[in-house]
Amino acid sequence: MTEVEFDTTIGTMIFELDEEKAPVTAANFLAYVDSGHYDGTIFHRIIDGFVVQGGGLDTDMNPKPTKDPIENESSNGLKNVAMSLSMARTMALNSATCQFFINLADNVTGGRVDLDRGQYAVFGRVKSGQDVVEKMAKTKVGNLGHFQDVPLEQIKVVKAKRVKA
């Protein structure tokens, strides 16, 4: 399984991608990693006990250009459990581009929110750096313009890169 390192301003995380069960989503994520897209982005939405979201906005909260949306692979058998990596999208099913989130809890049937029923495609997991994710989860948040749950102190991706193919 391919691994990706995200070096952030508060620590490093290693994501392990499931290219077998989520080939389209994993390939899409890797294309953004390889192009340097995630470098300089921020984690712009944090809801403790739910998700940490990032991948699409620069430090001025402006959206970065994206590739075309991808096919939704939410029926791949992977679940939105704690520390899983999933694609963010709009209300349209096949609208995911570059934004992703890390589940902070088991967001499945019986959980706070059922992201599996909501058809959000899981494509990997946090292999190491769970302490960094937990630190993110405890970050103080507020509103910034029309954005909600924005960290009051920015958490920036310094560098994202493949570390194991």
The residue extents of the domains of the chain are 3-164
Tens-of-pLDDT digits for all 165 residues of the chain?
A: 899 999 999 999 999 999 999 999 999 999 999 999 999 999 999 999 999 999 999 999 999 999 999 999 999 999 999 999 999 999 999 999 999 999 999 998 765 667 777 799 999 999 999 999 999 999 999 999 899 999 999 999 999 999 987
Which CATH number applies to 3-164: 1.10.3720.10, 2.40.100.10, 3.10.20.90, 2.170.190.11?
2.40.100.10
**Residue 151's beta-bridge partner residues?**
141
Residue 150: its pLDDT value, please? 98
Question: Please, which residues have CB within 8 angstroms of residue 68's CB and are 6 or more apart in sequence?
Answer: 97
Q: Closest by alpha carbon to 97, among 115, 72, 75?
A: 72
Residue 117: its pLDDT value, please? 74
3-class secondary-structure state, position 40: coil
Residue 63: its pLDDT value, please? 97
Residue 108: its pLDDT value, please? 85
Torsion on CA atoms 114, 116, 118, 121, rounded to nearest 10: 140
Q: Which residue has the tokens 């997991």?
A: 125
Statement: the pTM of the whole predicted model exceeds 0.85: yes
Residue 110: its pLDDT value, please? 63
Residue 112: its pLDDT value, please? 62
